[in-house]
Amino acid sequence: MAEGTAAARPRPPRSRASVRSRWSRARTPPASCRGVLDKWNAKNPDQKARLIELPQDADSQREKMIQNAQTKSDAYDVLVTDVVWTSEFAANRVLIPLPESEFPLDKMLKPVVDTTKYLDKFYAAPSSSDGGMLYYRTDLLKGAGITDPPKTWDELIADCKKVQATPAGKGVNCYAGQFEKYEGLTVNASEVINGAGGQVTDDAGKPDVDTAEAAKGLDFLVNGFKQGYIPKEAITYKEEEGRMAFQAGKLIFQRQWPYQYNLANGDEGTKVKGKFAVAPLPGLDGPGASSLGGHNLGISTYSAHKKSALDFIKFYTSEENQKANLELASQAPTFTDLYDDKALQDKYPYLTTLRDSINNAVPRPRVVRYGDASTAIQDAAYAALTGTKSSADALKGLQSQLTEITGK
């Protein structure tokens, strides 16, 4: 700051990791962020930006940022925030509202833009997005005479039975996602609830999870463990455990983030290179819905360089830099154009699926007490998945807990 540093950014590269550290640690080449930072510093030698890395896991990052605001420290100027933190940060005055007109929000994916607002005010500019996809083994499906990936859960289960009946598919498990009790379970549980036509909270943020649809959604996972189309050990899976299993050829279908695509197609530790593809997540009666991931950039309330910080955010979240980040770190961009770019589509075959996934994505509950809401969802889903409660009972309890947390 002494040299007039304009924008100190808490660990953007791994800000991927702030979403991703929850979701995965292995996917964060900080190079992408540093590259953008270097470009900025070269152009603005009088307003140098410096990267401040925060702890690995998302909860600690969130806590650091809130504490920083509570002590009114000007240590950070620009904050890289998880898309689910906007409400909490805005309500706790961690971030200041930004001038909405100065950002090309109409050129961005709508669900992403929705994550930037609290009480209709714009608090953080979208810098990257993320959505879940269904990874499937093309070789195994082909071997069983299946041409298209499943669109519904029933199709998925039927496909598994066909594949497992072939010699190549013998002993390969059917499906897995992220079911360990952590943020990933919130994501997966929300997705199946949405995929069956239910919802965790309605548009006004009111909890609405005690419904037959929501129970049917959760039952897809519960029955998976009971009937065996989800392997027992999947209850301990986070992103990386699941990736290991998929790469070892132990899964036919898997719900996972885009980051796995390049790694599973890489040269190291993967047996499925060139043998898989991605599809939108299936649902109860048709395509399901992903939970939305990603990161936004906001300005700390106590920043001493708000003007430069705003310039920096505009620069960092520009289309040009998002394209660079996609190429460098396969970070999902927020600009619609980039998904329609033919050259990029050829290079990243998952782009259209990812765009559909993000466009159909449902945000996780936008509540001020997000941490508590997420914990409540995890408690309920975990109890159902491990068989201590029925889906309906678990969701009933969740409804009353969320009502208390949101105060609605």
Footprint of other proteins (CB under 8 A): 59-60, 62-63, 66, 70, 90-93, 118-119, 180-182, 232-233, 235-236, 241, 368-369, 371-372, 375, 378-379, 382, 386, 407
Nearer to other proteins, 88 or 159 (CB): 88
CA distances from 331 to 41, 80, 326 (A): 22, 14, 5
**Which amino acid, one-letter code, is at 18?**
S
User: Smallest distance, Å, CB 382 to other proteins?
Assistant: 7
User: Smallest distance, Å, CB 276 to other proteins?
Assistant: 21
User: Smallest distance, Å, CB 231 to other proteins?
Assistant: 9
Nearer to other proteins, 241 or 311 (CB): 241
User: Smallest distance, Å, CB 118 to other proteins?
Assistant: 8
As a whole number of angstroms, the distance between CA 19 and CA 81 comes to: 9
Cβ-contact 253, 175 below 8 angstroms: yes
For residue 275, how far is the Cα from the chain centroid? 24
User: Smallest distance, Å, CB 233 to other proteins?
Assistant: 4
Nearer to other proteins, 91 or 168 (CB): 91
Nearer to other proteins, 51 or 368 (CB): 368
Nearer to other proteins, 17 or 380 (CB): 380
Nearer to other proteins, 183 or 356 (CB): 183
User: Smallest distance, Å, CB 383 to other proteins?
Assistant: 9
- According to DSSP, residue 189 is labeled H
User: Smallest distance, Å, CB 90 to other proteins?
Assistant: 8
DSSP H or E segment with residue 275 = none
Burial of residue 105 (number of CB atoms within 10 Å: 0-12, 13-18, 19+): middle
> Which pair of tokens denotes residue 255?
């719900």
As a whole number of angstroms, the distance between CA 289 and CA 84 comes to: 17
As a whole number of angstroms, the distance between CA 319 and CA 88 comes to: 27
Segment 64-72 long-range contacts (CB within 8 Å, at least 24 positions apart): 64/10, 65/10, 65/89, 65/94, 65/300, 66/92, 66/94, 68/94, 68/300, 68/302, 69/93, 69/94, 69/300, 69/301, 69/302, 72/302
Q: Report, in angstroms and rounded to the nearest whole number, the Rg of the chain calculated over CA atoms.
A: 21
Q: Is 144 helix (H, G, I), strand (E, B) or coil?
A: coil
User: Smallest distance, Å, CB 378 to other proteins?
Assistant: 6
As a whole number of angstroms, the distance between CA 370 and CA 101 comes to: 28
Nearer to other proteins, 1 or 91 (CB): 91
Nearer to other proteins, 70 or 73 (CB): 70
As a whole number of angstroms, the distance between CA 385 and CA 351 comes to: 32
User: Smallest distance, Å, CB 338 to other proteins?
Assistant: 34
**Which amino acid, one-letter code, is at 271?**
K
User: Smallest distance, Å, CB 119 to other proteins?
Assistant: 5
Nearer to other proteins, 35 or 97 (CB): 97
Q: Is 298 helix (H, G, I), strand (E, B) or coil?
A: strand
User: Smallest distance, Å, CB 303 to other proteins?
Assistant: 18
As a whole number of angstroms, the distance between CA 404 and CA 261 comes to: 40
As a whole number of angstroms, the distance between CA 109 and CA 358 comes to: 8
Nearer to other proteins, 135 or 182 (CB): 182
Nearer to other proteins, 104 or 249 (CB): 249
Count of CB atoms situated within 10 Å of the CB of 219? 19
